[in-house]
């Protein structure tokens, strides 16, 4: 099973990957399904993965997400999370909702474009790393980023809130 134990990896790193999945899907249930789908795929080749297991799982996750089309939620949730598919309330959530317009606009981006934005500006991957992960050229990452900014700038959710993006 390689140098990194699969179960240990799930215990230590899956929460971080879930955050990326959530930013991609904007839905906790779908994020959990996406993460588990990626981890299941990775399990079968765990012993052959080279240097970075996390990068490998993230790659599967992002590409699986990009190929989903309005997949009906039918996955399994961790038992402790069953039935929860809303963002939590409370003070932290109120801070989040202050930028709900940008969050809404991000949700309107096409999937690969949203993936580029999340990888570049949340996971802090370089353009080259993002390109390798998505299996596209660096030029495509740059153009997708530029198009994402254009779409965000023109999104009605932001147009009405007065936020300026370019």
1 touches another protein (CB under 8 A): no
Outline where DSSP puts E strands in the chain: none
Task: Single out the residue of 72, 83, 88, 160 in contact with another protein (rule: CB under 8 A).
Answer: 88
CB of 73 to another protein, least distance (A): 14
CB of 153 to another protein, least distance (A): 8
4 touches another protein (CB under 8 A): no
Contact 105, 160 (CB under 8 A): no
Task: Locate 132 and state its tokens.
Answer: 């390798």
Task: Single out the residue of 25, 34, 36, 57 in contact with another protein (rule: CB under 8 A).
Answer: 36
112 touches another protein (CB under 8 A): yes
70 touches another protein (CB under 8 A): yes
Contact 158, 152 (CB under 8 A): yes
Task: Locate 85 and state its tokens.
Answer: 């598919």
Q: Which is nearer to another protein, 73 or 137 (CB)?
A: 137
Please tell me the distance from the alpha carbon of residue 125 to that of residue 141, in angstroms, as a whole number: 11
Residue entry with tokens 């990957």:
17
- Count of residues in contact with another protein, rule CB under 8 A: 78
């Amino acid at each position: 099973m390689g140098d990194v134990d699969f179960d240990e990896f799930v215990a230590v790193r899956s929460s971080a990957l879930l955050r990326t999945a959530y930013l991609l899907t904007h839905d906790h249930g779908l994020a959990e399904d996406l993460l588990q789908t990626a981890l299941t795929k990775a399990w079968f080749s765990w012993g052959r993965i080279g240097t970075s297991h996390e990068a490998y799982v993230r790659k599967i996750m992002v590409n699986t997400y990009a190929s989903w089309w309005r997949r009906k939620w039918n996955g399994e949730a961790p038992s402790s999370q069953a039935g929860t598919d809303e963002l939590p309330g409370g003070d932290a959530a109120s801070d989040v909702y202050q930028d709900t317009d940008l969050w809404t606009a991000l949700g309107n981006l096409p999937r690969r474009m949203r993936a580029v934005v999340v990888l570049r500006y949340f996971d802090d991957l370089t353009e080259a790393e993002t390109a390798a992960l998505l299996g596209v050229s660096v030029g495509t990452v740059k153009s997708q980023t530029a198009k994402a900014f254009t779409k965000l700038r023109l999104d009605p959710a932001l147009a009405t809130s007065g936020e300026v993006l370019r």
